[in-house]
Structure 1
Amino acid sequence: MNEAVLDEVTALWAEHLSASWPEELYKADDSDGDVVEIDGAMAGCISSYLQGRGVLDVKRARIIQACACDLQKVLPRLRGDGAHYVRRLIRMAELIGRSQEAGTSSS
């Protein structure tokens, strides 16, 4: 497990939890999914990662990466706070994904 990654995800998560929900995200939904639901699914995965001190089960690892892919498709239509909110979620998913890959290859 990479402590630096865990620390960065912890800091990003604290920032995320203190952020207000950007109103524009209610209008960002499309065939890629409901952003509110994606946010909730990612929250559960990120919380599990942090509670597990950098360990995430395979199912949640897949969920968080799928959610990040959906958010990547929505991101070009967002500006300001909505874009920042979504970018932060995507960044956490990227960090978690890399830490999971590193953990798998070192086992």
Structure 2
Amino acid sequence: MTISTEQVQTAGRLWQEHRQAPFPDSLRRAEFGGTDVWVLDLYTAGCVLAWLDNDGILDAENGRILQSCIEDLARVIPEVNDPAGAQYCQQLHQLAVLISKNLASTK
């Protein structure tokens, strides 16, 4: 699959919007089913940045990490009681899913 410049730019714009959102205080020490939300945010961010820096290519290990983050976010989101926290996690999940659907061949 070839990733277009437009797809990378769209993901980059969504990433910038997400980065501008403050990390909700309610999530700073939040843990759901053994998953620390701030760690999940950190791992997802690393995968997003790697994908953007490599023009839509993510190595196999980061691809597995991204998939795990998507699954964990889907599990965590219904547990977040704070609306701002839930929205933050939903936006991160949406971005991760967008990237996972637009992965070029991995190295």
Segments of structure 1 that go 5 or more residues without pairing to the other structure are: none
Q: Which moved more, 1:60-69 or 1:18-27?
A: 18-27
Give, in whole Å, the separation in 2 of the partners of 1:28 and 1:72. Answer: 15
Deviation at 1:21, TM superposition (A): 0.8
Kindly indicate which of the two structures has a greater share of residues assigned to helix. Answer: 1
2:86 counterpart of 1:86: no
Aligned length: 102
Alpha-carbon displacement from aligned partner over 1:40-97 (angstroms, at most 9, x marks no partner): 1111111110000111111101101101111111111224211111111111111111
TM-score by structure 2 length? 0.84
Q: Which moved more, 1:70-79 or 1:23-32?
A: 23-32
Q: Percent identity, please.
A: 32
Alpha-carbon displacement from aligned partner over 1:12-54 (angstroms, at most 9, x marks no partner): 1101111111112135312241111111111111111000011
Query: RMSD in angstroms over aligned alpha carbons?
Result: 1.6
TM-score by structure 1 length? 0.84
Indicate which of 47, 53, 67 corresponds to 1:51: 53
